[in-house]
Amino acid sequence: MRAPRLLLPTLCRRLAASRPAPPPPLPPSAPARRELHAAPHPAMALSRFAYTRGFEREDACLPDTWVVVRLDGRSFRKFAEDHGFVKPNDARGLRLMAHCAAHVVTELDDLILAYGQSDEFSFVFHRKTNWFKRRASKFMTQVASLFSSAFVFYWDKFFAPERLLYPPAFDGRVVLYPTERHLRDYLSWRQADCHINNLYNTVFWALVQNGGLTTTQAQERLKLTVAADKNEILFSEFGINYNKEPLQFRKGTTIIWEKQVVSGHQLKETEAASHGEADPGKGGVIEKECSGSRDLVDRSADEPTAEGSPEQRRERPLGSGDRVGEVEESVSAKRPSDGEPAASYGVDVEPNAASDSASRCATPETPTEGRRASRKAKGTDKRQEQQRKVVMLHEDIIGDSFWEKHPDILADFSIKNSKSLTLTKVTN
């Protein structure tokens, strides 16, 4: 009867030996991962805080869609009143907004178009872009930060001697459009909104400033009126032909890239001409076309001047009825490469040293050096064949004529990054 009792410890030892050995405990520097959180990133230091990365959510935009980032001024009506903006349109503010948008386009290569009016601007990224792995947060923050900083940076160039009382704020949103038709309809919607708002504001402030009405009375006067009624009020009571208002007010501003093919001989001629004065026949627009350069040009020189009563003309800022293509500055900037300082801006800066030295190439001393210089010059001329310019337009983008005239905007593209890129910006 005692034999089975003696076999029990032996049986327990055999069962314990047949079980798999437990895993060794993890070292203190690498604690066990919690089941509810993602594994720490391999590039991050393994610590007990690494699990917090699991709270980050992926926000990649859908592939093969047009990405639009639209910025709007936050509480911009109060900002305009505090800084004395002229109503209904302040040409200085519109030019500043357009200049900031052009700055964003020149900095972000994957942007193909920007359209803006009043206190808003829409930036269109190409549907094939893979910039920042198409993360929506990166798109919005990069555009908003560049635009806001440029607004503060260039304020004095358009509003001096008036000081900036406090920094402006812009909110943004990211919208995806699956087809070209959806994208074009969106841009047409924004330009139609520009026309509707500008027509109403032009009549409203004409009634207040020149008609002697209060804001409440002007609002009641325009209630239930259509576009034809507003045009009749402007022409019959104030002698203003709305169709002759500046195109920038009625159409907004469209900023696009324009391709250009320039040979080496033409390049040297334009570089030599850039040292002289601007051609008066071009409306004072200075174009410096250096190697890899991208110029910012305003194509609104043929814009009609505004016509209205003397009282209304006095309400507008100086030069608002003049040709918008007048040049106010020429800024040269060099895109920083890895390890280089940030881009610096200055007015009327001399051409960059690289292009200047290339135009004054010395005669080589030996045949070998001559062949090397010849091969280098041929390679330079080959790179100079492809150039792009940032162009400001005040045109109608509703319909097919604009897109037929600029078919490259929505075409597939290939971005070639350049670590040394000279930007010559000429603005209205």
SS (H, E, C) the chain: CCHHHHHHHHHHHHHHHHCCCCCCCCCCCCCCCCCCCCCCCCCCCCCCCHHHHHHCCCCECCCCCEEEEEEEECCHHHHHHHCCCCCCCCHHHHHHHHHHHHHHHHHCCCEEEEEEECCEEEEEECCCCCHHHHEHHHHHHHHHHHHHHHHHHCHHHHHCCCCCCCCCCEEEEEEEECCHHHHHHHHHHHHHHHHHHHHHHHHHHHHHHCCCCCHHHHHHHCCCCCHHHHHHHHHHHHCCCHHHCCHHHHHCEEEEEEEECCCHHHHHHHHHHHCCCCCHHHCCCCCCCCCCCEEEEECCCCCCCCCCCHHHHHHCCCCCCCCCCCCCCEEEEECCCCCCCCCCCCECCCCCHHHHHHHCCCCCCCHHHHHHHHHHHHHHHHHCCCEEEEEEECCCCCCCHHHHHCCCCCCCCCCCCCCCCEEEEECC
Angle at the Cα of 109 (from 103 to 110), degrees rounded to 5?
Answer: 120
pLDDT digits (tens, 9 = 90+) for 99-118: 999 999 999 989 999 999 99
Whole-number pLDDT of residue 314? 37
Q: Tell me whether strands 294-298 and 387-393 are parallel, antiparallel or unpaired.
A: parallel
pTM of the model: 0.64
Whole-number pLDDT of residue 321? 35
The pLDDT of residue 129 is above 60? yes
Spatial CA neighbour of 120 closest among 296, 253, 317: 253
Whole-number pLDDT of residue 221? 95
Q: Please, which residues bridge with residue 108 across strands?
A: none
Whole-number pLDDT of residue 265? 54
Whole-number pLDDT of residue 263? 57
Q: Tell me whether strands 66-73 and 120-125 are parallel, antiparallel or unpaired.
A: antiparallel
Confidence of residue 10 (pLDDT cuts 50, 70, 90): confident
The pLDDT of residue 252 is above 90? yes
Q: What are phi and psi of 88, to 5 degrees?
A: -85, -20
Chain mean position to CA 149: 12
The pLDDT of residue 68 is above 80? yes
Spatial CA neighbour of 114 closest among 252, 274, 285: 252
CB-based contacts of 418: which residues, under 8 Å, 6+ apart?
A: 292, 335
Confidence of residue 181 (pLDDT cuts 50, 70, 90): very high
Whole-number pLDDT of residue 259? 77
Q: Which two tokens stand for residue 66?
A: 């047009």
Neighbours of 390 (CB within 10 A): 22
Whole-number pLDDT of residue 60? 94
The pLDDT of residue 278 is above 50? no
For residues 214 and 205, what is the distance between their CA atoms, to the nearest angstrom? 10
Q: Tell the burial category of 355 from Cβ atoms under 10 Å away from its Cβ (0-12, 13-18, 19+).
A: buried
**What's the whole-number mean pLDDT along residues 369-397?**
66
**What's the whole-number mean pLDDT along residues 162-183?**
96
Q: Tell me whether strands 330-334 and 253-260 are parallel, antiparallel or unpaired.
A: unpaired
The pLDDT of residue 35 is above 60? no
Confidence of residue 47 (pLDDT cuts 50, 70, 90): confident
- In our burial notation (b when 16+ CB lie closer than 10 A, e otherwise), range 165-187 reads eeebebebebbebeeeeebbebb
Confidence of residue 28 (pLDDT cuts 50, 70, 90): low
Q: Which two tokens stand for residue 79?
A: 């900002």
Q: What is the mean pLDDT of the chain?
A: 73
pLDDT digits (tens, 9 = 90+) for 196-228: 999 999 999 999 999 999 999 999 999 999 999
